[in-house]
Amino acid sequence: MTQDPRQAPQYQHSAPPPGPQSAAQDIPPGWPKRGQRYGHPGSGPRTAGMPGAPSGVQPAHGGPGGIPPGWPGRAQRERIVLDPGPFTWMDLATVLAYVLIFILGGAAVVALVPGFMDRFTDADGTVNTASFTFAVNLISYAVLSALVLIACWRPFVRSFQTFRDRGWLKAGLIPGVWFACIMVNALVVFAAGEPIKSANQLAIEEMTTQVDFLPMLLVTVLMAPLVEEYIFRHLMIGKLSRYINVWVCVAISMVLFAMIHFISTGFQFNPVEVVPYLTLAAAICVTYVLTGRSLAFVVILHVFNNLVSIVVAYTLLPLVS
């Protein structure tokens, strides 16, 4: 019987035997093979170790969040920690100017400028103390703000990077921290039995009756927070913590920040009056450390606190006084 030539070995096309090679030909590199499980380190193919399982298949480890190797995944977010850098000569010059102007009373020399006092003296010879004090503060903070921007303009701009990580959460933290400070202060007032205001707070409220809103906004809400956060956070915590434990720096910053507001009284005050300043200092110092030493964040937090206080002083206080 003659054999059909189509049945000859050279004309027969046998299908490749089923196995891992044929399966791998249809699956792109990096994609999970049939029967594999991902999501937990060390998990491998469901068929691994079973009779008849393909040899040479190694357990596959899942990527971050249960993503198989080779698949696109989320980038790991790292906490942003900024380096304020070492102390500079410009830092020293700015601190010396701050000490000279506010602690040693150097701001009073503007009264020696011819005609300066006349602008704040009434016809009967009485000096408008509130307007004069504000004018001195305006000049002082203008000079110090210029020095601060020269000393730390680049680190200040760079510190806005903190909002790249959980920006919405950090933005919401600003009013949250302010509200927490208000609640603490309210509890202190309740425990003391009556509202207690420091001489510094009374002086600011007196200025609001003599000075327009916009100039007060410029000094109290913009200039003062920038200068104070540069001195008490950027330098006393950010840079000083290169040499001293950061929480020791926090304690130093809190105490000095609170005490600086009582210079006008010769550091004579009721201990309860210190609580609002210590509360604000503690909140700002802790957020400064937790946000990775972001000068921008604490400046915004301080601006928000002062802005609310000034708006209340110009809108609500006249109604209740």
Higher per-residue confidence, 30 vs 143: 143
Residue 21 covered by a domain: no
Residue 298 covered by a domain: yes
Residue 35 covered by a domain: no
Q: Residue 226's closest CA among 166, 295, 273?
A: 295
Residue 285 covered by a domain: yes
Contact (Cβ atoms closer than 8 angstroms) between residue 220 and residue 141: no
Residue 24 covered by a domain: no
Range of the domain at 233: 89-320
Higher per-residue confidence, 275 vs 48: 275
Cα–Cα distances in angstroms (integers) from residue 238 to residues 21, 27, 82, 243, 275, in the given order: 60, 53, 9, 10, 24
Q: At what angle do helices 246-259 and 271-290 cross, to 10 degrees?
A: 140
Residue 6 covered by a domain: no
Kindly state the average pLDDT of the residues 119-142.
89
pTM of the model: 0.75
Domains in the chain, number: 1
Residue 295 covered by a domain: yes
What is residue 171's predicted lDDT score, i.e. its pLDDT? 93
Residue 82 covered by a domain: no
In which band, very low, low, confident or very high, does the pLDDT at 49 lie, cut at 50, 70 and 90?
very low
Kindly state the average pLDDT of the residues 67-85.
70
Q: Residue 80's closest CA among 314, 319, 292, 317?
A: 292
Kindly state the average pLDDT of the residues 251-274.
88
pLDDT over threshold 50, residue 38: no
Distance CA 158, CA 137 (A): 28
Higher per-residue confidence, 227 vs 107: 227
Kindly state the average pLDDT of the residues 267-274.
83
Distance CA 161, CA 292 (A): 10
- 146 half-sphere exposure, CB direction, 13 A CA radius: 6
In which band, very low, low, confident or very high, does the pLDDT at 12 lie, cut at 50, 70 and 90?
low
